[in-house]
Amino acid sequence: MTLSDQNIDAAALGKVAVLMGGDSAEREISLLSGNGVLRALRARGVDAHAFDTAARDLSELKAQGFARCFIALHGRHGEDGTVQGALELLGIPYTGPGVMASSIAMDKTMTKRIWRFEGLPTPDWRLAASSGEVSQAFAELGSPMIVKPVREGSTLGLTKVVSAGQCDAAWQLAARHDPQVLCEQFIAGDEITCALLGQGAQARALPLIRIVAPQGNYDFQNKYYTDAVRYDCPSGLPEEEEREMQRLSLAAYRSLSCRGWARVDIMVRASDRQPFLLEINTSPGMTGHSLVPMAARACGVSYEALCLQILAGASLDAWQGRGGPA
């Protein structure tokens, strides 16, 4: 797979809906992503239209003749398999992983179980349904410990717990977003992300990005609204380490049967340079601060070209292996 849009006929892609907004906690970021994608596709000659799923019924997509969708939704009802399932029923090809892959990837514990089964490294964890279970997890996993909602993104509801006295507040914060709470062993070291494009044996990993946040605090505010975070791309890692992280990311992506595109987050333990998979994002951000466009630029691929290539790969689960849309 080459990162090129030179052979993509924008007119042949038909009428395109850029799904954005929605009703998740990440609505604001989705609108930023979606409007960026919309401008990029229109600049490349695509007949693209904004479609806020919180304001319009998905049935309008079929009624108004949309040929495919670019999913720029984040969080629940956007990258958890629900919208993907609706589009399958409507028969409208969409960007990114399919129903099962999206649903599993949104659930951090299910993702970690599959990775652990496949022999892929991920931090140890416990699932908690009460503050008492968070306290028990802290006793077992030790300090520091990360507490976060099982099905949420953008570090929403996340706490770094360093003392037993923080467990109840950490539970309360995470439980506002999800009744299931993940308690995860903290890995101290380099924070790395790897963007992936394509499917199966043709999937490719883009250059790694090393994230250097103030006091290691890569939170919602620093992710989207400040310039305090440093992004190293090239990552500055030794070449053999970079190749290993890309190999690991591809294995994580393929283990969930992802297609289209995604982004894998990794921590590299400082003490022994052991990598640990944290999570996978199946509808990554496309804002001015987002990481997939940054990795693409390192390959000489513009934001517009990246959007067009992702859109051209829109497909349906029902078509896989049947000679349908690629």
Catalytic residue ranges? 26, 154, 224, 263, 265, 279, 281, 285
Distance CA 82, CA 136 (A): 33
Phi/psi region, residue 266 (left: phi>0; alpha: psi -120 to 50; beta: rest), is beta
CA 243 to chain centre: 21
Q: 3-state DSSP call for residue 255?
A: helix
Distance CA 81, CA 91 (A): 15
Tokens of 194: 């790897």
Least Cα distance to 28 among 244, 287, 266 occurs for: 287
Strand duo 189-197 + 261-269: pairing: antiparallel
Cβ atoms 84, 30 nearer than 8 A: no
Tokens of 238: 């030794």
Radius of gyration of the chain measured on its C-alpha atoms: 19
Q: 3-state DSSP call for residue 305?
A: helix
